[in-house]
Amino acid sequence: TVERLHRMGLRMGIVSNWDARLPGLCHHLGLSRYLDFVISSANLGRIKPEASIFQAALRRAGVEPGEAVHVGDHYYADVMGARSVGIHPVLLDRRGEARNLDCPVIGSLLELPDLLEGGALEGSY
């Protein structure tokens, strides 16, 4: 999935409330070559859903909020946080528990490229 998104020419990064080891973990897993940036709350001193962590991601990606998509597995931290700065949110619900939400929901990251290519996010916040 990450490779397919990379081939689509998308700028990609990770924004996480994880600790300072996150960049090293991404490197160890072989993800660094696909990522333009990695932001951990421990390194930035801010946590999701604070707007500043999403604004930092926008700056590092070099895109406007309406051009960005944030995929996360926590409604409050990820969806509400991304939405607060105008980023298109997508909820990753691996357990299939989400019901009647006001944002796109995917059950697996494998669904993300098709969602993006299908234009399902245009005009949605």
Residue 124 located in a structural domain: no
Residue 122 lies in a domain: no
User: Residue 125 falls within a domain, yes or no?
Assistant: no
Backbone φ and ψ of 96, nearest 5°: 70, 30
For residue 32, is it within any domain? yes
Phi, psi of 71 (to 5 degrees): -110, 125
Token representation of residue 5 = 């998104």
Per-residue pLDDT tens over the stretch 11-65: 999 999 999 999 999 999 999 999 999 999 999 999 999 999 999 999 999 999 9
CATH code for position 65: 3.40.50.1000
Q: Does residue 96 belong to any structural domain of this protein? A: yes
Asked whether residue 89 is domain-assigned, the answer is yes
In three-state secondary structure terms, 30 is coil
pLDDT single digits (tens) 52-71? 999 999 999 999 999 999 99
Q: Is 9 inside a domain boundary?
A: yes
- Flag whether pLDDT at 74 surpasses 80: yes
- Count of structural domains within the chain: 1
Enclosing domain of residue 10: 2-117
Residue 123, domain member (yes or no) = no
Please name the residues in contact with 46: beta carbons below 8 A apart, sequence gap of 6 or more: 52, 53, 56
Average pLDDT over residues 94-100: 90
